[in-house]
């Protein structure tokens, strides 16, 4: 059974940093697309970042580009999201995701095959 478990969320002041982690179990994801989505209160869940399986190429939404960095450790089957220069509008539940495919394409912005339960990030002004 596949499980994705996020950690690292919490309360931080604007301008601060947080690092989210996602531990995957049940199958290896080293060759698969993985990513992060977020859902702010009262809003739809949206794409944040993704990383391709084999190439490690990264992709970001315009709202986080230059501030967030997605990375993976295939040996540990983990995914991370380093978030810097946080803004109040980054407040959301952040979800770790993984897909059965290897190469990222635009459809991954709309969802992936596996989801974690989310971790809450709150940025105070």
**The pairing of beta strand 92-98 with beta strand 18-25:** unpaired
The predicted model gives 60-73 an average pLDDT of: 97
* Matching residue, tokens 């970001």: 60
pLDDT for 125: 94
The structure tokens listed for 69 are: 């960095």
Q: Using an 8 Å Cβ cutoff, are 20 and 81 in contact?
A: yes
pLDDT tens figures, 84-117? 999 999 999 999 999 999 999 999 999 999 999 9
Question: Is a pLDDT exceeding 90 seen at residue 82?
Answer: yes
pLDDT for 54: 84
pLDDT tens figures, 2-58? 999 999 999 999 999 999 999 999 999 999 999 999 999 999 999 999 999 988 999
Q: How buried is 56 (Cβ within 10 angstroms: 0-12 exposed, 13-18 middle, 19+ buried)?
A: exposed
**The pairing of beta strand 58-60 with beta strand 3-7:** unpaired
The predicted model gives 74-90 an average pLDDT of: 97
């Amino acid at each position: 059974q596949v499980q994705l478990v996020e950690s690292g969320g919490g309360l931080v002041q604007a301008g601060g940093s947080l690092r989210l982690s996602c531990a995957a179990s049940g199958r290896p994801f080293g060759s698969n697309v993985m990513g992060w989505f977020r859902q702010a209160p009262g809003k739809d869940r949206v794409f944040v970042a993704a990383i391709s399986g084999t190439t490690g190429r990264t992709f970001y939404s315009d709202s986080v580009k230059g501030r967030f960095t997605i990375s993976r450790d295939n040996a540990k089957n983990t995914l991370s999201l380093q978030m810097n220069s946080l803004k109040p509008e980054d407040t959301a539940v952040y979800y770790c995701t993984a897909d059965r495919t290897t190469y990222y394409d635009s459809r991954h912005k709309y969802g992936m095959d596996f989801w974690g339960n989310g971790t809450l990030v709150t940025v105070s002004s």
